[in-house]
């Protein structure tokens, strides 16, 4: 089967779905790899690198799509700025599209794929099971995002992170509050601790307390009888009563913080507001808030998507593609997620979509002209 790897066209996206090393491995498994000219250049992978791995380079994007049995992307398909066509309209019927779509937030893509007869696997829908661990693109990208979030916030802060004792006096360590102890939050915690900060972490799931403390963080615990975690290990949507309790407890921690990093997402829902404008007003001048959930509505009430702004003397960062700022590593781990998935669902270079397979059942959104994933169907209704 022929795999096509187009260049990402969403503004600012430098990642690529397949890197040369993974291309070489997939070719050995029986696939043919076709790559659009300069598709990997934003992540420092040249056309020569892909050719050396055995891939073919296509300068004409329509020919590239037409050659494909499988299309691999990082971002969801969007309108192509040069061709005045949607990327889905470039894909042949019965082609398999694999991308990090965030399908519960962009369910219209499922509808478009079904209408076009395109089979869609959304990488964010891969089940959180032991077998699927190597395919978990959400975790691989969140890990890098958590690391980068701390570096960006530290760069904006007019202070250093560690305790420093000098002849001119003692410099107190920076205080960092992280909201959300998922993959991104825990990586942010580890990174901030390595830089020398005092780190406090808030999460609606009491079960993560041990992980937070094992990394040297202080857990901000909200007492509740509610079960705050779903079967997949993700945070559930919290009740109004719980969010009120959480905001009251968080208020004083945020007021004392130099940096606040928010990471809280609920699949398919608008991100919960955790940092209110009132909290921002009580923060110290020059403090920094980085909202990692800004693409899906934001955890900070006054963050702006894709912008860094100063409001009430606090710097608020609304970077909506943190993994894309580290494209070399983000592309490499994402490509390995894709490789693991393709190896799982194929034999000798031929993909077979078995709806009895737990991973396929969870991640396959459209098949044979229909939307088949139950959660996506419920969002579309």
CA-CA distance, 125 to 113, in Å (whole number)?
16
136 is catalytic: yes
Q: Which of 69, 128, 218, 229 is catalytic?
A: 128
Element (H or E) spanning 34, and its range?
strand 32-36
Cβ 258 vs Cβ 175: under 8 Å? yes
**Roughly how many angstroms between the first and final C-alpha of the chain, as a whole number?**
35
CA-CA distance, 357 to 330, in Å (whole number)?
27
- Reference 71, options 103, 110, 99; nearest CA is 99
CA-CA distance, 367 to 263, in Å (whole number)?
32
Q: Which of 44, 59, 94, 133 is catalytic?
A: 133
Which residues pair with residue 99 across a beta bridge?
A: 122
234 is catalytic: yes
Q: Which of 67, 234, 255, 375 is catalytic?
A: 234
The Cβ of residue 235 has, within 10 Å, a number of other Cβ atoms equal to 21
102 is catalytic: no
246 is catalytic: no
133 is catalytic: yes
Q: Which of 67, 139, 229, 255 is catalytic?
A: 139
CA-CA distance, 245 to 225, in Å (whole number)?
12
CA-CA distance, 252 to 231, in Å (whole number)?
32
Q: Which of 136, 258, 291, 320 is catalytic?
A: 136
Which residues pair with residue 265 across a beta bridge?
A: none
Tell me which residues are annotated as active site: 128, 133, 136, 139, 234
């Amino acid at each position: 089967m022929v795999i096509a790897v187009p260049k990402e066209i969403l503004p600012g996206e430098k990642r690529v779905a397949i890197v040369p090393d993974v291309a070489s491995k997939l070719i050995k498994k029986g696939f043919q790899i076709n790559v659009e000219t300069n598709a990997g250049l934003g992540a420092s992978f040249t056309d020569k690198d892909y050719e050396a791995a055995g891939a073919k380079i296509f300068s004409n994007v329509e020919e590239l799509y037409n050659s494909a049995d499988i299309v691999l992307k990082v971002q969801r398909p969007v309108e192509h700025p040069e061709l005045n066509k949607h990327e889905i309209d470039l894909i042949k019927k019965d082609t398999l599209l694999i991308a990090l779509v965030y399908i519960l937030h962009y369910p219209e893509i499922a509808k478009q794929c079904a209408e076009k007869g395109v089979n869609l696997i959304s990488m964010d829908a891969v089940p959180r099971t032991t077998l699927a661990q190597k395919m978990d693109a959400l975790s691989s990208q969140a890990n890098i995002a958590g690391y980068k979030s701390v570096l960006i916030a530290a760069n904006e802060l007019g202070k250093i992170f560690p305790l420093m004792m000098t002849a001119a006096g003692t410099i107190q360590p920076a205080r960092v509050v992280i909201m959300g102890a998922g993959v991104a939050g825990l990586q942010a915690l580890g990174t901030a601790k390595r830089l020398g900060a005092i780190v406090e972490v808030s999460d609606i799931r009491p079960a993560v307390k041990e992980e937070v403390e094992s990394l040297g963080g202080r857990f901000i615990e909200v007492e509740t009888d509610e079960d705050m975690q779903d079967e997949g290990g993700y945070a559930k949507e919290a009740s109004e009563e719980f969010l009120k309790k959480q905001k009251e407890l968080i208020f004083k921690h945020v007021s004392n913080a130099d940096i606040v990093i928010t990471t809280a997402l609920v699949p398919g829902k608008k991100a919960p507001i955790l940092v209110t404008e009132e909290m921002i007003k009580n923060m110290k001048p020059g403090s920094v808030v980085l909202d990692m959930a800004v693409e899906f509505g934001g955890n900070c009430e006054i963050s702006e998507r894709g912008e860094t702004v100063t409001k009430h003397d606090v710097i608020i960062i609304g970077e909506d593609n943190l993994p894309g700022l580290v494209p070399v590593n983000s592309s490499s781990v994402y490509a390995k997620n894709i490789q693991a998935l393709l190896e799982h669902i194929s034999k000798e270079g031929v993909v077979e979509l078995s709806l009895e397979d737990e991973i396929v059942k969870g991640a396959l959104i459209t098949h044979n002209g229909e939307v088949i994933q139950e959660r996506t169907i419920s969002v579309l209704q």
